[in-house]
Amino acid sequence: MKARTKLLSLLGSLLTLGAILFLAIPASAQQDSRVPVAMLGGFMFIFLIFCLISYVYIALALQTIAQKTNTDNAWLAWIPIANIVLMLNIAKKPIWWIILFLIPLVSLVMAIIVWMAIAEERGKPNWWGILLIVPGVGLIVPGYLAWSD
């Protein structure tokens, strides 16, 4: 039943997106200077919704991982900077590593190292952390680590 609900939800989202884009096609054929701005606003709205859904998904996955590893304060997954502290607690890494997450290119390496340690804490191979650098697969890794047995 859950799979059916998820499928219907996904189908509804795709139909909504299709309707928005379908209505934007005739508007783009007009010679009005406001149309490109309106289309940009529509695409920005869709991008914002995608980012919000991704944030909720990753926060829920991180909270589930924290609960399964018996880490205190699993609710920190919902607070933007505090979720890094939660990840460091799950991975059993020093808290001062949060400073390294604030350095632009170093943060990518640190995220991979921390997610590798989180995968080991969940009893999975550590190469699951390396998969974060693969586009698209990076969204699957937190869910796999959270909801697989």
Q: Each residue of 91-149: pLDDT tens digit? A: 999 999 999 999 999 999 999 999 999 999 999 998 998 898 888 888 889 999 999 87
Whether the Cβ atoms of residue 118 and residue 141 lie closer than 8 Å to each other: no
Largest CA distance in the chain: 60
Q: Compute the Cα dihedral for 16, 19, 25, 30 and give only its sign.
A: negative
pTM (two decimals): 0.74
Buried b (16+ CB within 10 A) or exposed e, 112-134: bbbbbbbbebbebeeebbbbbee
Torsion of CA 53, 57, 63, 68, to 10 degrees: 170
Whether the Cβ atoms of residue 115 and residue 129 lie closer than 8 Å to each other: yes
Reported as a single tens digit per residue, the pLDDT across 75-100 is: 999 999 999 999 999 999 999 999 99
